[in-house]
Structure 1
Amino acid sequence: MTEVPEHDEAHGSGLGSRLNWLRAAVLGANDGVVSTAGLVVGVAGASDSRSALLTAGLAGLLAGSMSMAAGEYVSVSTQRDSEQAALAQERRELREQPEVELAELTELLARRGLSPDVAGEAAVQLTERDALRAHARVELGIDPDDLTNPWHAAGASFVAFTVGALLPLLAIVLPPASYRLWITVLSVLAALAFTGWWSARLGAAPPARAVVRNVGGGALAMAVTYAAGSLLGAAGV
């Protein structure tokens, strides 16, 4: 009798989930770097007051991290609600019409390249082992034991953004006034080059294009905010 392995599928699913979380953390840190750098560089264009820069940077860090966490919580909560609703419907269908669900699972396995006989045998084995898990994974693409957690997502976004935002904040506040702008710009561009390279590695994409895109976007953001701050400072606003 044909045995249906589940270990490899579960392992692959866990690996994909971990990569998605890591990619989200890198992108969250990248957002923290860019948004906070744009804010503090803009203020630096208008004022060289350390207290003003610290206040603006902290406000941007807290507002951005809380906004990221709240947005991620709402988004993932919606996704989790949808997953739970789909699983509840699947449980009801398995209870009310098991034969139809078995035929459906057989057809789905056959679409994946199994012969009709093997698909039918595999469907029977998977149903006997755990019918809900089989339908959740094959039909819905959901792991019932690994549903998305909105609190984890919110916490990860908060931490990632905060870590990214700390770099431009410290770079603009700690150095002497005559060097702080250039130190901040160079530090931010280096960080963006790293996050661009790492996100490309995680996505198995060419790193050069991602690095150029990331660094170029960050440089443009800082240039625009610095110009705006300089104009407002010169106007005495």
Structure 2
Amino acid sequence: MIHSEIHRSNRAGWLRAAVLGANDGIVSTASLIIGVAAASTAHEGILLAGVAGLVAGAMSMAAGEYVSVSSQLDTENADLEIEKKSLEQNIDAEKEELADIYEGRGLDAVLAKQVAEQLMAHDALGAHARDDIGISENASPQPIQAAFSSAGTFTVGAALPLLVAWVVPGNQLISVVAISSLVFLALLGGIAARVGGASIIVGAVRVTFWGALAMVLTAGVGRIFGVAA
């Protein structure tokens, strides 16, 4: 019977973008709503600020993720081109380099050389990409996927405190938005940790802490400028 293990590292790319988007959506929109509300702004103005923050934030997340992941992909492609030229010009030296890597990982010199030769005979560039450069197919950057994942989850995350602010009366808005957003963040952190195979409690606590800090600071700024006005 073949034992097949379930690994989670192949989820790292989209999971990071999704969690970042949802977390930023909840934190930034809730903080914006609380800050504007603390400045004694009318309910319509609070909702308008929230909607504007949702649209701007979603587009910013999409653009940021796309540019960032594209830059990473460009760097990896450039490294692969360098390695490809090196393989074409001096394949013997590349075999020795790969054998040295395997020997450093615990294989004896003879076996390391044999492994290097067989792997390079099968896929020389792929072998060097994995073991020399550290590029894995499972973790290959996906700019479009990262952009849509981050923007989509930002929109969902931002919509949660915005909906709460829409249905809650003005005199209770700050406290209800803050508490509900912290609950949303705790759920997000727990779910992300569960999907990633980490501690659910740790995941929930760390996301909630930073979200609470952002809301407190933004409320303070809103209160200061509201009084000053």
Question: Which TM bucket (shorter chain)?
Answer: 0.7 to 0.9
**How many angstroms apart in 1 are the aligned matches of 2:78 and 2:95?**
20
Could you tell me whether the CA contact under 8 Å between 2:39 and 2:225 is conserved in 1?
Answer: yes
TM-score by length of 1: 0.83
What is residue 195 of structure 1 aligned with on the other side? 188
Q: Would the alpha carbon gap of residues 192 and 52 (structure 1) be closer, same or farther in structure 2, given more than 3 Å must change? A: same
**Deviation readout 1:54-101 (Å, 9 max, x if unpaired):** 210011112222222222222112111111111111111111111111
**Residue 110 of structure 1: how far off its partner (Å):** 1.5
**How many angstroms apart in 1 are the aligned matches of 2:156 and 2:36?**
21
Q: Would the alpha carbon gap of residues 224 and 144 (structure 1) be closer, same or farther in structure 2, given more than 3 Å must change? A: closer
Counterpart mapping for 1:1-20 below 5 A? 15-20=8-13
TM-score by length of 2: 0.86
**How many angstroms apart in 2 are the aligned matches of 1:213 and 1:136?**
35
Matched residue type, 2:47: L
Q: Would the alpha carbon gap of residues 145 and 173 (structure 1) be closer, same or farther in structure 2, given more than 3 Å must change? A: closer
Could you tell me whether the CA contact under 8 Å between 1:201 and 1:207 is conserved in 2?
Answer: yes
What is residue 95 of structure 1 aligned with on the other side? 88
**Residue 179 of structure 1: how far off its partner (Å):** 3.8
**How many angstroms apart in 1 are the aligned matches of 2:193 and 2:58?**
24
Structure 1 residue runs of 5 or longer lacking an equivalent are: 1-7
* Counterpart pick for 2:112 among 108, 115, 119: 119
**How many angstroms apart in 1 are the aligned matches of 2:82 and 2:206?**
44
Could you tell me whether the CA contact under 8 Å between 1:37 and 1:165 is conserved in 2?
Answer: yes
| RMSD (Å) for aligned C-alpha atoms | 2.4
**75-84 vs 200-209, which deviates more?**
200-209
Could you tell me whether the CA contact under 8 Å between 1:19 and 1:202 is conserved in 2?
Answer: no
Q: Would the alpha carbon gap of residues 26 and 136 (structure 1) be closer, same or farther in structure 2, given more than 3 Å must change? A: same
What is residue 227 of structure 1 aligned with on the other side? 220
Q: Does 1:64 align with 2:57?
A: yes
**Residue 21 of structure 1: how far off its partner (Å):** 2.0
Could you tell me whether the CA contact under 8 Å between 1:29 and 1:165 is conserved in 2?
Answer: yes
**How many angstroms apart in 2 are the aligned matches of 1:137 and 1:165?**
38
* Counterpart pick for 2:147 among 129, 141, 154: 154
Matched residue type, 2:164: A
Matched residue type, 2:161: P
**How many angstroms apart in 2 are the aligned matches of 1:213 and 1:91?**
43
Moved over 6 A (4+): none
- Count of aligned pairs between the two proteins: 225
What is residue 184 of structure 1 aligned with on the other side? 177
* Counterpart pick for 2:209 among 194, 212, 216: 216
* Counterpart pick for 1:55 among 48, 58, 70: 48
**How many angstroms apart in 2 are the aligned matches of 1:191 and 1:50?**
22
**225-234 vs 60-69, which deviates more?**
225-234
**How many angstroms apart in 2 are the aligned matches of 1:229 and 1:144?**
47
What is residue 17 of structure 2 aligned with on the other side? 24
Q: SS at the partner of 1:148? A: coil
